[in-house]
Amino acid sequence: MRPAPAAVGDVLAAVDTPALLLDLDAFEANLVALAAMVAGTGVAVRPHGKAHKCPEIAERQVAAGAVGVCAQTTGEAEVFVRAGITDVLLANEIADPGKASRLAALAGLATVGVCVDHPAQVALLADATAVAGTTLGVLIEVATGQRCGIATQEEALVLAAAVGQASGLELRGIQAYAGTAQHVRDPAARAAAIEEVAALVTAIRDAIGVRHVTGAGTGTFPHEIASGVWTEIQPGSYALMDADYARNTKPPPFRQALHVLGRVISAHPDRAVLDAGHKAVAIDSGPPVAPEGHEVVSLADEHAILVRGAGAEPLPLGAVVHLVPSHCDPTVNLHDWILAVRAGVVEEVWAVAARGA
């Protein structure tokens, strides 16, 4: 693991750029804001740890009322469980004996769940729990688009029966996460997408006789709560935020807590080149957003090129510059450390312990 790019007490100018920053005031406000939006609904919160991959953040989410966290990979689940999170749902499918046996072993240390959409996955998990002597919770994933999941009551009944026959597996309910709906710009269109998913989920839920339905992200969770169908939501980005989610709802219900800090390594009258490129900030949802008056016009692997608008001051050589990532999850995955900052000073340094997992 790389050395951390700063130490507790450092000011931002002393940070070894590029580096990932978390604004603690904004982050803490986001945890409070989510809790307030869910309070009184009876719906549980299980934040998605794929967004941050960081046990320190997961612990703070649990302290703020979360029942546990989601992981998206077996490696993430291992990191969270070993860090002391007592309830982890792998909100994804696995399809090889190696991961099944790691997951079954993990179920001896914490409450662990996993998704299925094929009888062969159930067989793998049944075999692994039989060897480990543990019990895994199983969620049947319902398809909400092109990704994983089953789409019919018949498939769900086959899976539920297979789970029922395995002594180390326990049917917990349904996983239904409408991934593409999260980033639909029109709030009414997002609500309509969730209504459609809710109808399918309700039919399958009633067919297999379960009550628990988990899913929902930062872009849609108020709709899943309003539907009365979901009993648990899985937002991840709310804690960090990014430019894409900020474009979804005006004003955004959450504050921008995550930044990539770059430094001007080449200064020109019309533009500045930062030492933060594709390897420091993800661009799958577009380029990062520069400070007001400047625009990121292109990125290379290790560089961002910022052009200044009329009236903006040139960015001087050596200056540190905050970029707002368009997509938080893959941006965090590029960094080994999160610098937790308050009032311009590094207050804590947290490992992205599940980076690359």
Which residue in this structure is represented by tokens 């050395």? 3
Contact 30, 218 (CB under 8 A): no
Q: Is 142 in the site for a second copy (CB under 8 A)?
A: no
Q: Which stretch binds a second copy (CB under 8 A): 38-46, 60-68, 163-171, 257-265?
A: 257-265
Q: Is 286 in the site for a second copy (CB under 8 A)?
A: no
Q: Is 7 in the site for a second copy (CB under 8 A)?
A: no
Instruction: Choose, by CB under 8 A, the member of 164, 179, 187, 314 that binds a second copy.
Output: 179
The nearest distance, CB 84 to a second copy, in angstroms, is 20
Q: Is 72 in the site for a second copy (CB under 8 A)?
A: yes
Contact 46, 234 (CB under 8 A): yes
Instruction: Choose, by CB under 8 A, the member of 25, 284, 347, 348 that binds a second copy.
Output: 284
Q: Please, how many CA atoms are within 13 Å of residue 292, restricted to the half-sphere of its CB?
A: 1
The nearest distance, CB 282 to a second copy, in angstroms, is 7
Phi/psi zone of residue 215: left (φ > 0), alpha (ψ -120 to 50 degrees), beta?
A: left
Q: Per-residue x/- mask for a second copy, residues 79 to 98, rule CB under 8 A?
A: -------------xxxxx-x
Question: What is the 8-class DSSP label of residue 143?
Answer: P
Q: Is 263 in the site for a second copy (CB under 8 A)?
A: yes
Q: How far is Cα 169 from Cα 134, in angstroms, rounded to an integer? A: 9
H-run or E-run covering 320: strand 320-323
Instruction: Choose, by CB under 8 A, the member of 146, 186, 269, 311 that binds a second copy.
Output: 146
Helices and strands (DSSP H and E) totals, the chain: 10, 16
Cα torsion for 250, 252, 258, 260, to the nearest 10°? 0
Q: Where do contacts with a second copy occur on this chain (CB under 8 A)? A: 1-2, 14, 16-17, 50, 72-73, 75, 92-96, 98-99, 117-118, 120-121, 146-149, 179, 263-267, 271, 273, 275, 278-279, 282-284, 297-303, 305, 317-318, 329-330, 333-336, 355-357
